[in-house]
């Protein structure tokens, strides 16, 4: 007998057998697993699209490129700029906003003084400008490559030869 047929009319309660409960639970679990499988399938299709994979590769390469640029700025450019400016280290440029007299930014920070470290900001601006320049040059190069592909004209269809044109003119003159 099905659980639906075992209704107790006096108490308005439905009596469901253990076998039917198990079937209902299995049906609910099966429905959820189909929904989960659809979600997994949809996610797999999304993750395997070319754009997502290209973006992931770009993020990884961008992280490595950022380290290279930071090293270029910190280890090559800033020492050259420091040499040209009389030995000023940009990372040590700061304004003390609190009490005390500190020779270096590190000493002020270790003492817990409030400081405006504008030297680090200048260094980060230089990092940004170098990265922006590199990206600009890369995109410009890519645009040149795609422009060349687009500009390649398709071979023009071969027109009639001189003999064919003369024959056509002759035929037109005959018909007159």
Q: What's the chain's average pLDDT?
A: 77
End-to-end C-alpha distance for the chain, whole angstroms: 100
Q: Where are the alpha helices (DSSP H) in 89-117?
A: 105-110
Give CA separation, 33 vs 20, 45, 175, in Å: 20, 18, 82
pTM exceeding 0.85: no
**From CA 72, how far away is CA 90, in angstroms rounded?**
15
What pLDDT, on a 0 to 100 scale, did the predictor assign at position 161?
A: 84
Quote the DSSP letter at residue 96: E
Residue 2 pLDDT grade (very low, low, confident, very high; cuts 50, 70, 90): very low
What pLDDT, on a 0 to 100 scale, did the predictor assign at position 80?
A: 85
Percent of the chain with pLDDT over 90: 0
Please determine, for residue 8, whether its predicted confidence score (pLDDT) is greater than 60. Answer: no
Written as six digits, the tokens of 115 are: 């400081």
Phi, psi of 172 (to 5 degrees): -65, -40
Locate tokens 């961008």: which residue? 62
Contacts of 104 (CB under 8 A, 6+ apart): 92
For 25-48, write each residue's pLDDT tens digit. Answer: 766 766 666 566 677 777 777 767
Contacts of 126 (CB under 8 A, 6+ apart): 73, 77, 78
Among residues 72, 58, 82, 90, the alpha carbon closest in space to that of 127 is found at 72
Q: How far is CA 83 from the centre of its chain?
A: 38
- The total number of residues shown for the chain amounts to 176
**From CA 86, how far away is CA 165, in angstroms rounded?**
81
Q: Where are the alpha helices (DSSP H) in 73-152?
A: 78-84, 105-110, 118-151
């Amino acid at each position: 007998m099905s659980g639906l047929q075992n209704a107790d009319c006096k108490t308005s309660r439905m009596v469901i057998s253990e076998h039917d409960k198990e079937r209902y639970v299995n049906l609910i679990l099966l429905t959820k697993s189909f929904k989960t499988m659809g979600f997994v399938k949809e996610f797999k299709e999304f993750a395997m699209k070319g754009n997502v994979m290209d973006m992931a590769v770009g993020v990884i390469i961008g992280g490595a490129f950022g380290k290279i640029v930071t090293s270029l700025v910190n280890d090559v450019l800033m020492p050259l700029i420091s040499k040209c400016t009389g030995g000023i280290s940009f990372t040590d440029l700061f304004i003390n906003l609190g009490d005390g007299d500190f020779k270096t930014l590190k000493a002020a920070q270790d003492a817990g003084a409030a400081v405006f470290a504008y030297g680090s900001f200048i260094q980060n601006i230089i990092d940004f400008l170098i990265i922006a320049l590199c990206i600009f040059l890369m995109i410009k190069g890519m645009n040149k490559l795609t422009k060349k592909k687009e500009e390649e004209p398709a071979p023009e269809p071969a027109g009639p030869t001189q003999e064919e044109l003369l024959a056509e003119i002759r035929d037109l003159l005959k018909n007159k």
